[in-house]
């Protein structure tokens, strides 16, 4: 089976994702996010769902947890761009993904 990658993005950042070659669904209002996630969960060939963090923040925690329990699609939050050094954030993000996947924290050396 071939898996698709899809992006949920605001109108402001959707063109940038399209320029990168990604399939994008524009979300006009953050309150649409719960229904958008429910729709994504029904798409059998969707493997990865990229979502802007600001839009994910609008999803009720219970609905977000229910979506994250699914094996596919894998939900990948995309943070807002920040300028300047952010040391150690990439490693902490990877550690959190591993914790969710295997159920406990690991230490990277």
Per-residue pLDDT tens digits for 81-94: 665 556 666 677 77
Mean pLDDT for 6-26 is 90
Q: What is the domain partition of the chain in residue ranges?
A: 4-81
The CATH class given to the 4-81 domain equals alpha beta
Percent of the chain with pLDDT over 70: 83
Report the mean per-residue pLDDT for the chain.
82
65 burial level (CB within 10 Å; 0-12, 13-18, 19+): exposed
pLDDT value at 107 more than 70: no
pTM of the model: 0.69
**Cis peptide leading into residue 73 (ω within 30°):** yes
For residues 89 and 17, the model is more confident at 17
């Amino acid at each position: 089976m071939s898996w698709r990658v899809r992006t949920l993005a605001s109108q402001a950042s959707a063109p940038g994702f399209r320029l990168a070659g990604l399939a994008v669904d524009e979300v006009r209002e953050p309150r649409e996010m719960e229904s958008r996630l429910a729709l994504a969960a029904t798409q059998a060939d969707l493997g990865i769902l990229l979502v802007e963090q600001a839009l994910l923040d609008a999803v009720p925690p219970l609905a977000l947890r229910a979506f994250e329990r699914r094996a596919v699609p894998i939900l990948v939050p995309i943070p807002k761009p920040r300028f300047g050094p952010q040391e150690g954030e990439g490693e902490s993000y990877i550690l959190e993904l591993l914790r969710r996947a295997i159920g406990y924290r690991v230490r990277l050396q």
